[in-house]
Chains A and B, each alone.
Chain A
């Protein structure tokens, strides 16, 4: 499919027609080496994202979701070891040298982080920062990069984009800064956008506007999006599919409605139960998940959720659960939560 409006003329993706998923991750492990221990931050993760699709990655802090995002973006620090396969289109990224990776990172993968102020250089004008990737990656002229930057700023909804080009980040509000970051991430028309908590630092009304922008850009540009967030509300409204992570591993994955309406993994169910809603009875006892996420330096044999799980049995401690489910919905749980429409599953032992 022709990508809309080739501003900077990104030739990177040309070549034989490829119609598989934009991103295909298989058996990804990420180990972070510390002085005396190794953190197994991501373990055996496999996932796919299709063109124009948004996949939400959810889980508590420390579940490995940000590390996964950094691994896919090729931004992990040097003390990490990545195993497994990361395919972007028909190209393998794992094991690719830093030079090639940098090119991919700038042109084919766009990244948006939580705090726009830390992603932007406070001493550089906005036009320069948004157009930078085009200049560096594709050798665009100054004028061409500037024109492309203006067009991108217009696309992300900055009023009077031509005037904004010469402003500095501190002159903008948080919401406008995040729009600039998004513009910079998308200026080379990447095939994959990784958004790590893109609205967490923003106010609710601004958050709503930025998420609307993501939805609109996805339709206009057709990129695949990985939305990494702890906010179940944001995922519910904006992701096509959800990938629930716990202790660096996949816990459950499925279409958004499947995950929210019929969660099978006990962790997913507990996570959804503890979400505060406007319908939650005021000052009622809220559901919580006891304990805390496990120590990722220890690679235990069983299900990592055992110490916090209401349905755990000896089997769970002994053996990591196999993949269950069919179609788009899969879970890794020995005693999945019971759902009415699936009569094959009997009540889990307590």
Chain B
């Protein structure tokens, strides 16, 4: 069996890296030639270390799901490279690609749609093991039992069908299946969005425990800032195919530099009555991804937009420690050497808004 656990220079090469990844979709149909391509993802660079969680946050149409699909190999980037342990997915040999497929697994938002309704849970969880091969039936069965136990499924449920389960249990099955091939990375696309609050906490607890146990990495894609804040070690905020800001959660939430990040934080409905929700600072609609605005893509909805924003695209610059943002008129001072930005106004922006 091919082992891909020992990539070249595995000590300092990140588990996963995206280098300037771009994905354009050409619209299908009769008018395809004349229509502008949809720029789903544009020039995104990211890294995920082993055992860490990268959270990608943004609203529908920002390209976050496309990004996740490229990482698991469901989509090929138009430009740029997705590298697993330093090797680009596109340049892998067949056996390497096969190994990579088991090394990166996916968990979906709607576990019901993602599970074969005609298979029992045991069969669903076993399926990736069968595909991977190399195990006897007995070994597979004992692994399925172990996976079920780890994800909190009762052994008695294994001969049931997905329709007999609650949403939370289905998501446990989704996790068990994703874990079956002992992946290093799980791409989780809105894994708890469809769940009730109490069940959401159960799944997040489980994901946290499994991460610690298996040194798992997560690429967590969500529109929900509270979920991203809870689980991610590093956050990337996407808008219209581009990363507009990234950084560690504490830094990003304490002093967001980009106006879009700030708007997202302000829009989180806090379960605290009496605290007047700040009026949403951004207005209008997400522009078309086929014809993104010139310069800064956020400028059409930005409260601080000026002429410069239409002329020049702002580059990603360093702000606080580990924080990058692409804005001409940021909310905090850019730090040239990654030092914390000065100014007391940078702190506790969330509280200041109330």
Kindly report which residue of chain A lies nearest to residue B350, judged by CB atoms. Answer: A278
Q: Which residues from B are CB-within-8-Å of A60?
A: 196-199
Q: Which residues from B are CB-within-8-Å of A30?
A: none
Contact B229–A256 (Cβ < 8 Å): no
Q: Does A346 contact B (CB under 8 A)?
A: no
Q: Does B305 contact A (CB under 8 A)?
A: no
Q: Which residues from B are CB-within-8-Å of A287?
A: 201
Contact A276–B59 (Cβ < 8 Å): no
What is the bound-complex CA distance between A212 and B283, given in angstroms? 12
- Tell me which of A206, A231, A238 has the highest count of chain B C-beta atoms within 10 A of its own C-beta: A206
What is the bound-complex CA distance between A278 and B228, given in angstroms? 9
Q: Does B231 contact A (CB under 8 A)?
A: yes
Q: Which residues from A are CB-within-8-Å of B167?
A: 61
Q: Which residues from A are CB-within-8-Å of B198?
A: 60, 270-271, 274, 288-289
Q: Does B273 contact A (CB under 8 A)?
A: yes
Main SS of the interface on chain A? helix
Q: Does A285 contact B (CB under 8 A)?
A: yes
Q: Which residues from A are CB-within-8-Å of B269?
A: 204, 207-208, 211, 231, 233-234, 236-237
Kindly report which residue of chain B lies nearest to residue A242, judged by CB atoms. Answer: B273
Known: A212-B280, A236-B273. A282 touches B204 (CB 8 A): no
Q: Does A205 contact B (CB under 8 A)?
A: yes
Contact A275–B197 (Cβ < 8 Å): yes
Q: Which residues from A are CB-within-8-Å of B208?
A: 283, 285
Q: Which residues from A are CB-within-8-Å of B350?
A: 278
Proximity bits, B263-281, A CB within 8 Å = 1, else 0:
1111111111111110110
Kindly report which residue of chain A lies nearest to residue B57, judged by CB atoms. Answer: A204
Contact B268–A276 (Cβ < 8 Å): no
Known: A276-B227, A282-B249. A205 touches B59 (CB 8 A): yes
Rounded to whole Å, the gap between the CB of B186 and the closest CB of chain A is 16
Q: Does B242 contact A (CB under 8 A)?
A: no
Known: A230-B196, A280-B230, A282-B230. A208 touches B201 (CB 8 A): no
Proximity bits, B156-170, A CB within 8 Å = 1, else 0:
000000000011100
The one of B231, B268, B279, B285 in contact with A175, judged by C-beta atoms closer than 8 angstroms, is B285
Q: Does A301 contact B (CB under 8 A)?
A: no
Kindly report which residue of chain A lies nearest to residue B227, judged by CB atoms. Answer: A276
Contact A276–B230 (Cβ < 8 Å): yes
Q: Which residues from B are CB-within-8-Å of A203?
A: 59-60, 223
Within 8 A of B (CB), among A228-249: 230-238
What is the bound-complex CA distance between A286 and B227, given in angstroms? 12
Q: Which residues from B are CB-within-8-Å of A275?
A: 197, 271
Proximity bits, B251-271, A CB within 8 Å = 1, else 0:
001000000000111111111
Contact A278–B268 (Cβ < 8 Å): yes
Q: Which residues from A are CB-within-8-Å of B202?
A: 286, 288
Rounded to whole Å, the gap between the CB of A289 and the closest CB of chain B is 4
Contact B270–A261 (Cβ < 8 Å): no
Contact A236–B231 (Cβ < 8 Å): no
Contact A232–B229 (Cβ < 8 Å): no
Q: Which residues from A are CB-within-8-Å of B199?
A: 60, 288, 292
Contact A207–B267 (Cβ < 8 Å): yes
Q: Does A294 contact B (CB under 8 A)?
A: no
Kindly report which residue of chain A lies nearest to residue B205, judged by CB atoms. Answer: A286
Q: Does B200 contact A (CB under 8 A)?
A: yes
What is the bound-complex CA distance between A209 and B276, given in angstroms? 14
Kindly report which residue of chain A lies nearest to residue B62, judged by CB atoms. Answer: A203
Rounded to whole Å, the gap between the CB of A252 and the closest CB of chain B is 15
The one of B264, B275, B286 in contact with A173, judged by C-beta atoms closer than 8 angstroms, is B286
Q: Which residues from B are CB-within-8-Å of A236?
A: 269-273, 275
What is the bound-complex CA distance between A257 and B198, given in angstroms? 21
What is the bound-complex CA distance between A192 and B23, given in angstroms? 47
Q: Which residues from B are CB-within-8-Å of A288?
A: 198-199, 201-202, 205
What is the bound-complex CA distance between A233 and B271, given in angstroms? 4
Rounded to whole Å, the gap between the CB of A282 and the closest CB of chain B is 6
Contact B197–A209 (Cβ < 8 Å): no
What is the bound-complex CA distance between A60 and B285, given in angstroms? 32
Proximity bits, A284-327, B CB within 8 Å = 1, else 0:
01111100100000000000000000000000000000000000
Q: Which residues from A are CB-within-8-Å of B286?
A: 173
What is the bound-complex CA distance between A257 and B277, given in angstroms? 15
Q: Does B282 contact A (CB under 8 A)?
A: yes
Within 8 A of A (CB), among B195-237: 196-202, 204-205, 208, 223-227, 229-231
Q: Which residues from A are CB-within-8-Å of B268?
A: 204, 233, 278
Q: Does A168 contact B (CB under 8 A)?
A: no
Q: Does A21 contact B (CB under 8 A)?
A: no
Rounded to whole Å, the gap between the CB of A210 and the closest CB of chain B is 10
Listed by A's residue number, 8 A-B pairs whose Cβ atoms lie within 8 Å are A60-B198, A61-B196, A204-B59, A204-B224, A232-B197, A271-B197, A282-B231, A292-B166
Given contacts A257-B274, A276-B227, A278-B265, 6 further A-B contacts (CB under 8 A): A208-B266, A232-B197, A234-B269, A236-B271, A274-B197, A277-B271
